[in-house]
Chains A and B, each alone.
Chain A
Amino acid sequence: MENNGHTGPLIFSAKDVEIKFNLRGRTLTAVRGASLDLYQGETLAIVGESGCGKSVFTKSFIGMLDKNGSITGGQIIYRDQELTKFSTEKEWLTVRGKKIAMVFQDPMTSLNPVRTVGEQIAEVITWHFGTAHAKAKEEAIELLRRVGIQDAEARYKQYPHQFSGGMRQRVVIATAIACRPEILICDEPTTALDVTVQAQILELIRQLQRELKMTVIYITHDLGVVANVADWVAVMYAGQIVEYGTVREIFRGAAHPYTRALLHSMPQLGVKGHDLYSIKGTPPSLYKEIRGDAFAPRNPEAMEIDFEEEPPMFKVSDTHWAKTWLLHPYAKEYREQLESRTRQQHESRKPTPPFNYDCAEKLLQVKDLTVKFKIGSKEFKAVDNVSFDIYRGETLSLVGESGSGKTTIGRAIMRIYNKVDGSIIFKGEPITGKLPRGEAKRLRLEMQMIFQDPMASLNDRAKVDYIISEGLYNYHLFDNEADRLRKVEEIMGEVGLSSEFSSRFPHEFSGGQRQRIGIARSLIMDPDFVVADEPISALDVSIRAQVINLLNKLKRERNLTYLFIAHDLSVVRFISDRIAVINKGRLVELAGCDELFSHPLHPYTKALLSAVPYPDPDVERGKKLLTYDPSIHDYSVDKPSWSEICPGHFILGNQRELDGYLREIESCS
């Protein structure tokens, strides 16, 4: 094959790889004939929903499949070596870590908690090269410095728990590049990290790649990250590569319906007030044999042929390949028809007018809320002096990084934490502290919560029917059994679940379906106000869209008010009317959605906005990353206060800073 737009020589090639697992006596085909070529110095991103075989496929390159899995077909060739022929660990170790290294999602699983990080890196060096201990230590310190860890000598002697999440990931990267590998596989390297840290880690990997001339494979489900880092993109679905091309070709002219669906379901690309495009259902079960195009059952625009024959790889351009029947000459007419339909749909969409605050009524007021936790004998303020109002009918989003106290605020409002300072007023009545029994019970009817993790928040020993009607039982909101069943059926229909599902157990459902069960459970109480605590952060891109649409639909139909807690600004923009940004327990800025995105004032908000990956390769590459340094605030004399700098725009700052912000607003307008 000629070089097809690649810059370096071909170094690695996987051909028609098939990987099977034995699970509970059944065979699961996780990878069904996937092929991939890697060229020196390039970055390839593998994209797909969870359960598409991305991780398994790349793990097979270094012989790290679980015990019950094996490569049953195809070839993996690395520099004239046939890796599938390797049978012993010893053979694999000539490649694994040395030539092809891997960085995993959770840094804590790859580090040994009882040994210092320095030792762990030095060990890798001694082990692969037989370097003397003193020399290895020197090299390890050099590596730590190289991955951007300050004061590397002192850090060498520290244990993993003394590092923050981002720093740990840096250490893992240092271990991975210790042997100067040719290929670095990063399996969701930043999924567990905050956006600002994510941006730094991506930058680090990019810089190391340039210095060491590595080939990097990213496995990710975040298209924003892909747009940022990748030269080439491979889209994987149901154990196959369905589309392959340069990053611009994929983002601008995706050919496969699955790739298009993934791109369309990004909330960044949605139009406010309209439904996001969402992919129905879940990826297919790989236990069964798949006939035709695996994506067809979830594709509303599938053709009949898709259900019958498996499409071959069609060539779109020299660098762009896609596995879909849409590219067949016979499908030309249908394809054009589809394209004109999508164009029409896009043009007809106008964003809805913003929420009108002039005659809005305050539903919930939070004043000087402070929540303290005791850790041992030390007291620590998770939420510090936070004040905001929520108006009836709006969606207020609370955005912040992990540990910023956003969930604590939600839980304080829900009275899960009872010991708080300050006041929370709901419908004109204070709801903090001890309330009379009846009062507290009545509040539960009006306020409900949607939880983050759909796996942990449903009792997996109870049937869906019981889970959904739990609230009905507690308040006797039904006349008789038939009435209860009718109500359950009604709400299940509303969240898009078949009523047959009610006799099943939660573990039989996918993440998105479980989250919908969780939503049904809260909404059957018919509340006015809902705290949605990161309801979509544990979900896949495609499923996020389903849940966002559902939340928006329910808001319209039931006139709900949401407090939406999230860590991802991009998602929040699509659904919220106002956004509050929280950092280390303090609100730093609160403004209308468009106002905040167009005129962010606080340096933390600016940094957060710049770090959010945007699914467009040209935007991503052109952007400048801002970092937030809390030491720029000099609050030693002049204490900061929470003030309304212009109507509806609140910010935290002392007098001097506020003056600066005011000047900034004036210069903008």
Chain B
Amino acid sequence: MEEKKKVRQLNPLKFRAAIFDNMLSEDVGYSNYSYWRSTLRTFFKNKAVLALVVLIVLIILMGFIYPIVSSEDPNKASLLPLTWNQRPSWEHWFGTDTLGRDIWTRAWYGVRNSFLLAFCIALSDVGIGMIVGAIWGYNKKLDPIMIEIYNVITNVPSTVYLVLLAYIMNTSYLTLFISMASRGWIVEARFFRNRILSIRDSEYNVASRCLGTPMRRIATKNIIPQIISLIIMEAALCIPYSIGNEVFLGFVGVGLPVEAITLGNIVNQGRASFTLHPYQMLLPTIILCIITVAFYVIGNKFADASDPRNHI
């Protein structure tokens, strides 16, 4: 702690009162942190995630655009055995199946249908789950009943339940939707109930109540913005799960009727002739893998990125 030598000559005139700027003193503590900006930055910092997002967007876009622009009929079966089970060629990029239908075309129709189905299921699971979860979280009296419902639904093995329901009803998109959506919501409801319970009595909600804010506004302004990232994440994780279930139901034989073009059906048809023509399973399986893996990774990474603790 020694007195430093003065390097430069000082101007004595500078030793007088300066003008005090109130704004200058207030502004120094300003930080320009933004929750969504930080979330997205953390999310896209991982290049693999960025690649997966691009890939998944391309696949889904392709699934929706291809059926519109292409003139190829995915159900056009041929009676000429020569066109059956063709190997990949310029005409049929991924070959044809046992009825001479173009696999490339069918795969994109499959992506569209499977994705739409999965999307509807995710929407209903997360949507119903969130509403039920919110009501559950706010009413302690519901706890015993809801926990029983949760236990009953989750303790019945999902495969048995799905197979049973699909067996009772006629196979159709609606059946599949009902059988999956009728049990998925409770898991989501419990998840959201836990989250809402933890923020329900936080101080800013108490403050809002003191200001006389009605429940509706507390929900839309205080609670939903807090859990929106969770909603997105849950929806993203729901999609691969639903697609997987659809494929599984096709596999056990209670899936959609054969004329429905979904990834599950295409994979199953490919599987039937796998020993002789393995290439038939190639494209649909690859797409299926990419979709499921990508959604899982994206959902999980998004959950990490949306956690403010990771925003360093």
- Known A444-B210, A456-B203, A462-B225; contact A331-B15, beta-carbon cutoff 8 A: yes
Complex contact B33–A297 (CB within 8 A): no
B25 to chain A, nearest CB (A): 3
Complex contact A312–B6 (CB within 8 A): yes
- Known A448-B210, A521-B211; contact A302-B311, beta-carbon cutoff 8 A: no
- Known A303-B15, A457-B204; contact A315-B3, beta-carbon cutoff 8 A: yes
Q: In chain A, residues 427-449, which have Cβ atoms closer than 8 Å to a Cβ of chain B?
A: 441, 444-445, 448-449
Q: Does A644 contact B (CB under 8 A)?
A: no
User: What is the 8 Å Cβ interface bit string for chain B, positions 58-100, against chain A (1 contact, 0 not)?
Assistant: 0000000000000000000000000000000000000000000
- Point out the residues of chain B lying under 8 angstroms from A414, CB to CB: 210
Q: In chain A, residues 288-318, which have Cβ atoms closer than 8 Å to a Cβ of chain B?
A: 296-309, 312-315
User: What is the 8 Å Cβ interface bit string for chain A, positions 16-60, against chain B (1 contact, 0 not)?
Assistant: 000000011000000000010100000000000000000000000
Complex contact B21–A301 (CB within 8 A): no
B143 to chain A, nearest CB (A): 15
Docked CA distance A498–B221 (Å)? 24
Docked CA distance A174–B130 (Å)? 49
B12 to chain A, nearest CB (A): 5
Q: How many A-B residue pairs have CB under 8 A?
A: 161
Complex contact B211–A474 (CB within 8 A): yes
B211 contact from A297, A299, A444, A453, Cβ within 8 A = A444
Complex contact B208–A470 (CB within 8 A): yes
Q: Does A628 contact B (CB under 8 A)?
A: no
Complex contact A280–B203 (CB within 8 A): no
- Point out the residues of chain A lying under 8 angstroms from B206, CB to CB: 416, 451, 457
Q: Does A239 contact B (CB under 8 A)?
A: no
Q: In chain B, residues 1-42, which have Cβ atoms closer than 8 Å to a Cβ of chain A?
A: 1-4, 6, 8, 10-18, 20-35, 38
Q: Closest B residue to A475 by CB, please name it.
A: B212
- Point out the residues of chain A lying under 8 angstroms from B6, CB to CB: 312
Q: In chain A, residues 55-72, which have Cβ atoms closer than 8 Å to a Cβ of chain B?
A: 68
B215 to chain A, nearest CB (A): 12
Q: Closest A residue to B207 by CB, please name it.
A: A457
- Known A334-B15, A451-B203; contact A313-B1, beta-carbon cutoff 8 A: yes
Q: Does A218 contact B (CB under 8 A)?
A: no
B28 contact from A282, A304, A309, Cβ within 8 A = A282
- Point out the residues of chain B lying under 8 angstroms from A306, CB to CB: 18
- Known A68-B312, A303-B17, A321-B1; contact A459-B26, beta-carbon cutoff 8 A: no
- Point out the residues of chain A lying under 8 angstroms from B38, CB to CB: 24
- Known A297-B21, A331-B15, A461-B226; contact A23-B312, beta-carbon cutoff 8 A: yes
- Point out the residues of chain B lying under 8 angstroms from A507, CB to CB: 31, 33, 35
Q: Does B46 contact A (CB under 8 A)?
A: no
Q: Does B214 contact A (CB under 8 A)?
A: yes
Complex contact B207–A313 (CB within 8 A): no
Q: Does B273 contact A (CB under 8 A)?
A: no
A502 to chain B, nearest CB (A): 14
B223 to chain A, nearest CB (A): 9
Complex contact A284–B28 (CB within 8 A): yes
- Point out the residues of chain A lying under 8 angstroms from B30, CB to CB: 285, 508-509
A474 contact from B27, B213, B312, Cβ within 8 A = B213
Q: Closest A residue to B26 by CB, please name it.
A: A281
Docked CA distance A449–B18 (Å)? 40
- Known A280-B25, A471-B211, A498-B23; contact A508-B32, beta-carbon cutoff 8 A: yes
Complex contact B34–A513 (CB within 8 A): no
- Known A297-B25, A334-B16, A456-B203; contact A305-B213, beta-carbon cutoff 8 A: no
- Known A244-B1, A314-B3, A334-B17; contact A416-B210, beta-carbon cutoff 8 A: yes
Docked CA distance A284–B4 (Å)? 24
Complex contact B1–A35 (CB within 8 A): yes
Docked CA distance A457–B222 (Å)? 11
A313 contact from B2, B34, B204, Cβ within 8 A = B2
- Point out the residues of chain A lying under 8 angstroms from B28, CB to CB: 281-285, 297-298
Complex contact A328–B1 (CB within 8 A): no
Docked CA distance A313–B3 (Å)? 5
Complex contact A312–B3 (CB within 8 A): yes
Q: Does B198 contact A (CB under 8 A)?
A: no
- Known A315-B3, A521-B207; contact A505-B29, beta-carbon cutoff 8 A: no
A534 to chain B, nearest CB (A): 12
- Point out the residues of chain A lying under 8 angstroms from B155, CB to CB: none
Complex contact B29–A281 (CB within 8 A): yes
Q: Does B275 contact A (CB under 8 A)?
A: no
Docked CA distance A193–B164 (Å)? 61
Q: Does B141 contact A (CB under 8 A)?
A: no
- Point out the residues of chain A lying under 8 angstroms from B21, CB to CB: 297
Complex contact A453–B18 (CB within 8 A): no
- Point out the residues of chain B lying under 8 angstroms from A163, CB to CB: none
Complex contact B18–A444 (CB within 8 A): no
User: What is the 8 Å Cβ interface bit string for chain A, positions 463-498, against chain B (1 contact, 0 not)?
Assistant: 000100011011100000000000000000000011
B44 to chain A, nearest CB (A): 14
Docked CA distance A210–B254 (Å)? 82
Q: Does A518 contact B (CB under 8 A)?
A: yes
Docked CA distance A171–B193 (Å)? 38
Docked CA distance A596–B21 (Å)? 42
Q: In chain B, residues 211-250, which have Cβ atoms closer than 8 Å to a Cβ of chain A?
A: 211-214, 217, 221-222, 225-226
Q: Can you give 28 contacting A-B residue pairs, CB < 8 Å?
A: A1-B2, A244-B1, A280-B25, A282-B26, A283-B28, A297-B24, A298-B25, A298-B28, A300-B20, A302-B17, A303-B16, A304-B13, A305-B15, A308-B14, A309-B10, A313-B1, A328-B10, A328-B15, A449-B210, A456-B204, A460-B35, A460-B204, A466-B221, A470-B213, A507-B31, A510-B29, A518-B207, A522-B210
10 tightest Cβ-Cβ pairs between the two chains A and B:
A281-B25, A282-B29, A461-B225, A444-B212, A305-B14, A510-B29, A312-B4, A456-B203, A280-B25, A457-B203
